[in-house]
Amino acid sequence: MNRDGVTTNKLFKTPVSDGPSSSPFPFRYGQDRSADSIGTNQPGQDSLCIKWTNDRMAVTQCDGVSQSFFGDLAAEHLCQNLSNYLLTIPTDQNAKQMHEDLFGYLNQLSIGFREKIETHSIDHIEPAFLRGVLETKRHLGSEAVFSSLLLDKKSYLAMLVWAGDSRIRVWKYGREITWAYFSEQEFLTQERWSSHKGIVGQLHLKILSPEDFDQLILYSDGFAIADNEADLFQQDNIQIESLITRTKTLAGSDDISFFQMTSSLPIAWHTGKKNTIRALNFDENREPGKLFIEWANPPGQNTWELATVTDLNFSVVETTRNSFKVLIDEIPQAGAFFAVRAVNPMAATEWSDWSFYKPPQIEPAKSTQLEKQRYRPVYQTPAPVDPLADREKYEHYQPRPEPVSVTSNKKWQISLAGMILLLICVGSFVLFSKGENKDNQRTNFFTALLAGHTTPTTTPESSATDEFPTSAAPIDTATPEPPPDTPQPDPDESELFSTLSTPYPFETTPPSTPSSAYPFETTPSSTPSLRNPFKTYPTRPQSAGSSFYATYTHGYQGGWFTNALESNNNLILLPLIVKENSLSSTPPSQSDDSLSE
Amino acid sequence: MQYDTLATSDTPALIIYALDVSGSMSTSMSGKRRIEIVTDALTAALQQMVFRCTKGSVISQRYLIAMFAYSDQVYDILGGIRTIDEVAAMGVPELSPQRSTATDQVFLAVEEMLHNNLGHLQYCPAPLVCHMTDGEYTGADPEPIVNRIMSLGNHDGNVLVENIFISDNILTQPIQDPYNWTGVLDNSRLRTQYAQKLQRMSSRIPESYRVMMAESGYAIQPGAYMMLPGVNPELVQMGFVMSMSTPMAQ
């Protein structure tokens, strides 16, 4: 039995593409990461595994539960194993027997996987607080929701198995018939496969005949935006891809996996027109800093559309030449996918297959610099509370009592001691400058000292201490807090008198977390200034919090090649989105409702 | 004003904690010092926030946290507003009881922080101020300041103010089971005038928060005030759970 298959990579985007022609059923598939995962360069938590033999195809789409322990591990493990199992499952049983077999298999699968989860190392993860939370998650297990499809030509069987809220939609003759076979109560978020519990909730199984439908689509809940797309089954790959990109602007941006198969010809998502362009050529050596994208120029075609998709952007541009020039610097480091088709006023050809281009990788330092330029700080650490300065702005503010500062007192002490020392020096100079030693030589205080004279005087320290005692404020602020078992003061008294050595209410020593994880490396000395409690900890770097603002500047208010495309020799300025899928430049993650408010 | 904006890394939810560290916080409740109970509840709340925000090994910055501790002075524990991953890196601060209860001062500081930052948070969930105290204020009346704070807001709604009042002397009827308690309602009888003041200084719980509380097993009724009598550690913890009940993308 010859097996073949495709498995998506959770680390990279897989644009919606047609499956290989060797599969027994035509299909297309795609996968993408959430905006969050892209932003933090983390793997997505969806997995899609499609395997087939000459007469059987098994598909499993898994969505790792993000609140579980590394849900991507569960998704990946379940995806591979369940697809393989479905390829071998006997199809001559009734539905109940198959359900029991699958239920037993999935529970058995969790036993071995649990050991893997329990030994999965998180020692390298910082900070310790996060490790503690992850240990709690480990205790609950790694989980994934899933939907699987088995198609068998020999037995004429189409079997669907699922647990959770992944979408399963079917069409026949262009009409959606999903709810003729399924009910909403069968797609519950809390149902899933768990490394520690096996199937949580119910395992759902439905056996159909391939004649019952001609289009079937599976996708994860991250693509919920497609729920209202009644003609999803016949949208071409570029349209689906534009829809996927649009989810990146939504508040609930999530990982997406998508699969569609058809049991009828012609293939619904194809226009039926001939695909005249197979692939695009990239030439980055023709002109420094520019990428030439070229494609075949069949006779009779003089207008083209070039679709481009990156991690966060999608666009289609039109040109009258069969080539484009793009500034390489404007292409994201993660690369870009390109597809092209010929268009004329009456129709268009098929889109070409995706061609991927990844620009030369620049040094990380340079990359960081670019990021810094793109973002600007958002959160400003509040300025030290200064009621006098704020009075004009907020008249209702009352000046706060100025706490006595130990540090400032010490400065005064040092200054006064210095002044006293200076006075002593000047005085001694006056006293001794007119004196004569035994050799009748004029001398001063210093030469007298060198000659062994002693001059009774008061030490600067004692003078300063006597004359300028420190205030009533706590003195030894470095004294640690009393241990927990120290008898506590009577609360009534404590309201009246400060029984603590310092009015500063926080421990000045780091907690028991490893020093590397503790951020107060630059914590001031153990004698914090009491004048300005807001300055006790280091202020936030100006670049911090940039990801919050990133949404407003990165990918929504201008495409990477908004100003970068050139058609042959003429530089042209292009809007970000030419096609109907206009990405809004308004702040993302908000529904239109909230904006209209 | 629906309080339904999801907390995401692009639209994080700001929670400002104002914690009373007056001397009376060193008295014991249920065998523990009050300040320790608050620290434990704060730790549990931060853990829950990190739990919600963690995907794989990365903490998504869905929460912004600020913490003020106050006695006769106001202390900005975190040095301004911090993202949840930064707070996780810092760990939970240890609090020590001080002297008096200058409640007005902390709310002035909160108001100033909101004035400085609301412009950046227009499309985020409405900020929430969680005030925890165990006694009456010793300074000026904080109610006018709180009213001003509650009049601030963004596209999601007005700033929410929650009060956790650690005291045995609030409700006429004791709370037997926090999970079955319906919350402080309009017809709830409060024993002291200060409890009544705190009720006036508390927002009504938005429905989205109430649903999140229900998912955590609590039976808070619609229209309840965001005010909790912290008569035991479970109720104090419930108060902190309420503070982080912002709707969140899964």
Nearest CA in chain A to B80: A381
B111 contacts in chain A (CB < 8 Å)? 394
- Asked whether the beta carbons of residue A39 and residue B9 sit closer than 8 angstroms, the reply is yes
A39 contacts in chain B (CB < 8 Å)? 9
Residue A523 has pLDDT above 60, yes or no: no
Mean pLDDT of A505-515: 38
Place of tokens 């929650």: B162
- Asked whether the beta carbons of residue A189 and residue B78 sit closer than 8 angstroms, the reply is no
A251 contacts in chain B (CB < 8 Å)? 5-6, 8, 10-11, 249
- Asked whether the beta carbons of residue B50 and residue A550 sit closer than 8 angstroms, the reply is no
Burial grade of B81 (CB within 10 A; 0-12, 13-18, 19 or more): buried
Q: Work out the percent of chain A whose per-residue pLDDT is above 90.
A: 46
- The pLDDT assigned to A23 comes to 92
Residue A53 has pLDDT above 50, yes or no: yes
Residue A151 — pLDDT band, cuts 50, 70, 90?
A: very high
| pLDDT tens by residue, A295-351 | 988 777 888 999 999 999 999 999 998 899 999 998 999 999 999 998 887 778 888
CB pairs under 8 A between A and B: 237
Nearest CA in chain A to B63: A548
- The pLDDT assigned to A251 comes to 79
Distances (CA, A) of B214 to A97, B151, B180, B217, B238: 39, 27, 10, 5, 12
- Asked whether the beta carbons of residue B81 and residue A381 sit closer than 8 angstroms, the reply is yes
- Asked whether the beta carbons of residue A42 and residue B58 sit closer than 8 angstroms, the reply is yes
- Asked whether the beta carbons of residue A134 and residue B57 sit closer than 8 angstroms, the reply is yes
Cis peptide before A127 (omega within 30 of 0): yes
Residue B33 — pLDDT band, cuts 50, 70, 90?
A: confident
Measured in angstroms, the CA of A530 and the nearest CA of chain B are apart by: 10
Residue A475 — pLDDT band, cuts 50, 70, 90?
A: very low
Nearest CA to A224 out of A182, A179, A166, A163 is that of: A166
- The pLDDT assigned to A361 comes to 85
Cis peptide before A266 (omega within 30 of 0): yes
- Asked whether the beta carbons of residue A136 and residue B26 sit closer than 8 angstroms, the reply is no
Residue B191 has pLDDT above 90, yes or no: no
Residue B216 has pLDDT above 70, yes or no: yes
Measured in angstroms, the CA of A125 and the nearest CA of chain B are apart by: 7
Question: Architecture of domain A4-262 in CATH?
Answer: 4-Layer Sandwich (3.60)
- The pLDDT assigned to A278 comes to 74
- The pLDDT assigned to B115 comes to 95
Looking at per-residue pLDDT, the higher value among A119 and A496 belongs to A119
- The pLDDT assigned to A478 comes to 39
Measured in angstroms, the CA of A63 and the nearest CA of chain B are apart by: 12
Of B26, B64, B88, Cβ closest to residue A488: B26
> Phi and psi at residue A567, in whole multiples of 5°?
-105, 115
- Asked whether the beta carbons of residue B249 and residue A503 sit closer than 8 angstroms, the reply is no
Measured in angstroms, the CA of B222 and the nearest CA of chain A are apart by: 23
| For testing contact with chain B, the best of A534, A535, A536, A585 (most B CBs within 10 A) | A534
C-alpha gyration radius of chain A: 36
B74 contacts in chain A (CB < 8 Å)? 385, 400, 533
| For testing contact with chain A, the best of B9, B51, B136 (most A CBs within 10 A) | B9
Nearest CA in chain A to B120: A378
Nearest CA in chain B to A132: B47
Determine the number of helices (DSSP H) and then strands (DSSP E) in chain B.
7, 13
Measured in angstroms, the CA of A304 and the nearest CA of chain B are apart by: 36
Give all strands (DSSP E) within A114-224, no chain letters: 143-152, 157-163, 167-172, 175-176, 192-194, 198-200, 204-208, 215-219
| pLDDT tens by residue, A264-283 | 877 888 877 766 677 899 99
Nearest CA in chain B to A69: B56
Measured in angstroms, the CA of A547 and the nearest CA of chain B are apart by: 7
A504 contacts in chain B (CB < 8 Å)? 75
- The pLDDT assigned to A381 comes to 37
Comma-separated ranges of CATH 2.60.40.10 domains in chain A: 281-375+556-596
Nearest CA to B206 out of B219, B223, B190 is that of: B223
Residue A205 — pLDDT band, cuts 50, 70, 90?
A: very high
- The pLDDT assigned to A365 comes to 55
- The pLDDT assigned to B200 comes to 94
Of A130, A385, A536, Cβ closest to residue B109: A385
B46 contacts in chain A (CB < 8 Å)? 129
- Asked whether the beta carbons of residue A382 and residue B59 sit closer than 8 angstroms, the reply is no
- The pLDDT assigned to A259 comes to 97
- Predicted-complex ipTM score: 0.88
Residue A66 has pLDDT above 60, yes or no: yes
- Asked whether the beta carbons of residue A133 and residue B51 sit closer than 8 angstroms, the reply is yes
Mean pLDDT of A133-160: 94
| pLDDT tens by residue, A406-463 | 444 556 778 888 888 888 888 877 766 554 444 444 444 444 444 444 334 333 443 3
Our CA dihedral for A229, A234, A235, A236, rounded to 10 degrees, sits at 160
Comma-separated ranges of CATH 3.60.40.10 domains in chain A: 4-262
Q: Work out the percent of chain A whose per-residue pLDDT is above 70.
A: 62
Contact criterion met (CB below 8 Å) for A16 and A8: no
| pLDDT tens by residue, A378-408 | 333 334 444 444 444 444 444 444 444 444 4
B91 contacts in chain A (CB < 8 Å)? 127-129, 510-511, 513, 517-518
Residue A568 — pLDDT band, cuts 50, 70, 90?
A: very low
A252 contacts in chain B (CB < 8 Å)? 6, 8, 249-250
Measured in angstroms, the CA of B213 and the nearest CA of chain A are apart by: 17
Q: Which helix (H) or strand (E) holds A283?
A: strand A281-287
Mean pLDDT of A472-484: 38
Residue B211 has pLDDT above 50, yes or no: yes
| pLDDT tens by residue, A82-137 | 999 999 999 888 999 999 999 999 999 999 999 999 999 999 998 999 999 999 99
Distances (CA, A) of A122 to A42, A438, B5, B7, B139: 15, 83, 33, 27, 49
Q: What is the mean pLDDT of chain A?
A: 72
A493 contacts in chain B (CB < 8 Å)? 23
- Asked whether the beta carbons of residue A133 and residue B50 sit closer than 8 angstroms, the reply is yes
- The pLDDT assigned to A314 comes to 93
- The pLDDT assigned to A411 comes to 66
- Asked whether the beta carbons of residue B11 and residue A382 sit closer than 8 angstroms, the reply is no
Residue A45 has pLDDT above 60, yes or no: yes
- The pLDDT assigned to A408 comes to 47
Mean pLDDT of A475-497: 39
Q: What is the mean pLDDT of chain B?
A: 90
Measured in angstroms, the CA of B246 and the nearest CA of chain A are apart by: 14
Nearest CA to A28 out of A189, A269, A266, A337 is that of: A269
Mean pLDDT of A200-218: 93
Of A44-58, A181-195, A266-280, A526-540, the range with the lowest mean pLDDT is: A526-540
- Asked whether the beta carbons of residue A252 and residue B249 sit closer than 8 angstroms, the reply is yes
> CB-based contacts of B56: which residues, under 8 Å, 6+ apart?
A42, A43, A45, A66, A70, A71, A72
- The pLDDT assigned to A526 comes to 34
Nearest CA in chain A to B9: A548
- The pLDDT assigned to A476 comes to 37
Of A144-148, A519-523, B16-20, the range with the lowest mean pLDDT is: A519-523
- Asked whether the beta carbons of residue B123 and residue A587 sit closer than 8 angstroms, the reply is yes
Residue A532 has pLDDT above 70, yes or no: no
CA distance A139 to B47: 15
Residue B101 has pLDDT above 50, yes or no: yes
- Asked whether the beta carbons of residue B78 and residue A137 sit closer than 8 angstroms, the reply is no
Of B23, B64, B83, Cβ closest to residue A494: B23
Mean pLDDT of B95-103: 79
The single-letter code of the amino acid at A179 is: W
Looking at per-residue pLDDT, the higher value among A489 and A525 belongs to A489
| For testing contact with chain B, the best of A129, A392, A512, A515 (most B CBs within 10 A) | A129
Residue A474 — pLDDT band, cuts 50, 70, 90?
A: very low
Nearest CA in chain A to B156: A594
- The pLDDT assigned to B1 comes to 58
The pTM for the full model equals 0.70
Nearest CA in chain B to A553: B10
> Phi and psi at residue A381, in whole multiples of 5°?
-60, 130
B156 contacts in chain A (CB < 8 Å)? 594
Of B12, B98, B156, Cβ closest to residue A548: B12
Measured in angstroms, the CA of B9 and the nearest CA of chain A are apart by: 6
Looking at per-residue pLDDT, the higher value among A571 and B88 belongs to B88
Q: What are the boundaries of each domain within chain B? A: 13-243
| Of the options 3.30.1450.10, 3.40.50.410, 3.40.50.360, 3.40.50.300, the CATH number for the domain spanning B13-243 | 3.40.50.410
Of B10, B104, B145, Cβ closest to residue A548: B10
- The pLDDT assigned to A231 comes to 93
CA distance B149 to A560: 41
Nearest CA in chain B to A550: B10
Mean pLDDT of B164-174: 83
Question: Architecture of domain A281-375+556-596 in CATH?
Answer: Sandwich (2.60)
